[in-house]
């Protein structure tokens, strides 16, 4: 079973030292990806520490989630957790 995170923990990871994004209930540690993000580190960092599903789907296809994000997945948002 994958690791589950509560909202408080996710919110702590919103800096270049540790940057997590949540898309559709999955949690991704994108710290190492910030500088490689084709859309730039700034916009990605701005969306860390929170649920960025809407922002994510504005700019990416399903392929990006499956092929690129998967590598950075560290777990799931706890069911019922409110971000």
Which residues are at the interface with ligand HEM (CB under 6 A)? 21, 28, 30, 37-39, 43-44, 47, 52, 55-56, 59-61, 64, 68-69, 72
Contacts of 19 (CB under 8 A, 6+ apart): 13, 29, 30, 31, 34, 44, 45, 48, 49
Pick the closer one to ligand HEM by CB: 10 or 69. 69
Which residue of the chain is nearest ligand HEM when measured via CB?
39
Pick the closer one to ligand HEM by CB: 4 or 42. 42
In 10 A of CB 41, how many CB atoms? Answer: 15
Pick the closer one to ligand HEM by CB: 69 or 77. 69
């Amino acid at each position: 079973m994958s690791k589950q995170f509560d909202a408080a923990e996710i919110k702590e990871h919103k800096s270049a030292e540790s940057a997590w994004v949540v898309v559709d209930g999955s949690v991704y540690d994108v710290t190492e990806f910030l500088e490689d993000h084709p859309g730039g580190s700034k916009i990605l960092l701005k969306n860390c520490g929170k649920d960025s599903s809407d922002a994510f789907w504005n700019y990416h296809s399903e392929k990006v989630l499956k092929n690129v994000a998967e590598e950075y997945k560290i777990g799931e948002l706890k069911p019922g957790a409110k971000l």
